[in-house]
Amino acid sequence: MATDGSVLEVSLSAVVANWRKLCSLHPGAVAGVVKADAYGLGAVHVAPALHAAGCRHFFTAQFDEAMAIRALVPGAMVAALNGPPPDAEYEYLANDVTPVLGSLAAIDRWTTQARSLGRTLPVILHVDTGMHRLGLPPAEISVLADDPGRLDGLTLLYVMTHLVSAELPDDPQNAHQLARFAAACARLPPAPRSIANSSGIFLGPAFASDLARPGAALYGINPTPHAENPMRPVARLLAPVLQIRDVPADETVGYNATWRAARPSRIATAAIGYADGWLRAHSNRGHARFDGAPVPLVGRVSMDLCTYDVTDHPRIVPGDRLELLGPAFGPDAAAEVAGTNGYEILTFMGMRIARVYVA
Ligand SMILES: *Cc1c(COP(=O)(O)O)cnc(C)c1O
């Protein structure tokens, strides 16, 4: 049976083209951040496509996400940004998942493990330069600087930090974090460095490092919100029309009657709702597209359905598909309507939406 639900068409060649573009802009290596199922697009498809293009570094948030792609990207580094929980050393080592260590306690567990195995273990150190979320705080950097033996048995693949406001090029926080990171690195053993996320790559040469960690830009989200999107669109979201009905003037549509027909209207009901991640905040705002023309969403977004005013689109019939995300109207534009960011639009795409991979 053909699906009666919505479809997210993902262009893997566009993801790869975006990765190549970032490689051309960043002097160091460029990883693929594929956490949250590659921002909702499907990590088990995205990661091998990037690997085939030459990507050799992957980041997830959690260990299970790393395991989902581990065998699909042979020879590549797969690291879990959230850091290993206590007693996870064996599973990380047995599966070749690289730990991102962000506390003295985690470092001590891994050096203990290295001693008991009698070999050195590859790790990434995460330095907190202002996010105050994960990573070694300044006091713990000082402890390491005063007692370098504390890192014995560890091979520092990278020392990394994460930018707070990289999409705001004029924010002084960017340079401030760079200075803090340089100071921290100077107190640690020499090691390759990793700084930029997607937007960081566009901050200029000072923010270049041995390894950039873009996610959003790979998936077509604009890393330079103050300027035109330099990335290629990657995803189309299509919702099938289930029924079309005539609604007399003055009748209402949807829960709580938040939209009232000002004229005799044709209303198309499409198979997508907030349970699919199409946020309720889109209610009575925003548009789908049909043949490139905007079609207004009217009434409340409900769990499984959205209603559209197709009075001015007599050609739309049941079975047609409305385009909710596409080249002309990407995740950033949808986010603008719903009062969020493109990251949330993509990562909210529900499991009910079929992912279809196109060239
Ligand atoms: C999510 C994340 C990234 C990728 O950020 P984008 O803005 O999507 O490019 C990089 N580094 C860390 C630590 C992250 O958490």
pLDDT in tens, 340-350: 999 999 999 99
Query: Does any domain span residue 348?
Result: no
In a domain, 149, yes or no: yes
* pLDDT surpasses 80 at 152: yes
**What is the atom index within ligand 1 of the atom nearest the CA of 214?**
9
Cα 286 to Cα 138, 213, 299, distances in angstroms:
45, 32, 11
| Pocket probe mutation, ligand 1, options 21, 22, 37, 81, max atoms within 8 Å of Cβ | 81
For ligand 1, what atom is nearest to the CA of residue 134? Answer: 13
Same-domain check for residues 153 and 122:
yes
Q: Are residues 278 and 210 in the same domain?
A: no
Q: Are residues 181 and 240 in the same domain?
A: no
Q: Is residue 201 part of a domain?
A: yes
What distance in Å separates the CA atoms of residue 280 and residue 251, rounded to the nearest whole number? 22
* 219, 254, 271 - which closes a domain: 219
DSSP alpha helix (H) spans, 290-340: 331-338
Residue 123 has phi, psi (to 5 degrees) of -140, 165
Contacts of 229 (CB under 8 A, 6+ apart): 220, 222, 330, 332
**Shared-domain flag, residues 158 and 251:** no
Ligand 1 center to residue 33 CA distance, Å? 7
pLDDT digits (tens, 9 = 90+) for 257-289: 999 999 999 999 999 999 999 999 999 999 999
End-to-end CA separation in angstroms for the chain: 23
Distance 213 CA to ligand 1 centre (A): 6
Tokens of 189: 């053993």
Domain that holds residue 274: 235-340
Give the residues surrounding ligand 1 with Cβ less than 6 Å away: 33, 35, 81, 162, 197-198, 213-217
pLDDT band at 2 (very low <50, low <70, confident <90, very high): low
Same domain? For 312 and 194 the reply is no
Question: Into how many domains does the chain fold?
Answer: 2
Instruction: Point out the domain boundary residue: 219, 243, 278.
Output: 219
Say how many Å lie between the CA of residue 188 and the centre of ligand 1. Answer: 23
HSE, CB side, 13 Å, CA atoms: give it for residue 117: 17
Give catalytic residues, as residue numbers: 35, 255
Which whole number is the average pLDDT over 219-225? 98
Residue among 59, 134, 164 whose CB has most ligand 1 atoms within 8 A, to mutate: 59
* pLDDT per position as a tens digit, 95-132: 999 999 999 999 999 999 999 999 999 999 999 999 99
The closest-lying atom of ligand 1 relative to the alpha carbon of residue 198 is: 9
Q: How far is the CA of 156 from the centre of ligand 1 (A)?
A: 20
For residue 227, is it within any domain? no
Bridge-based pairing of strands 235-247 and 265-270 is antiparallel
Tokens of 42: 């499907």
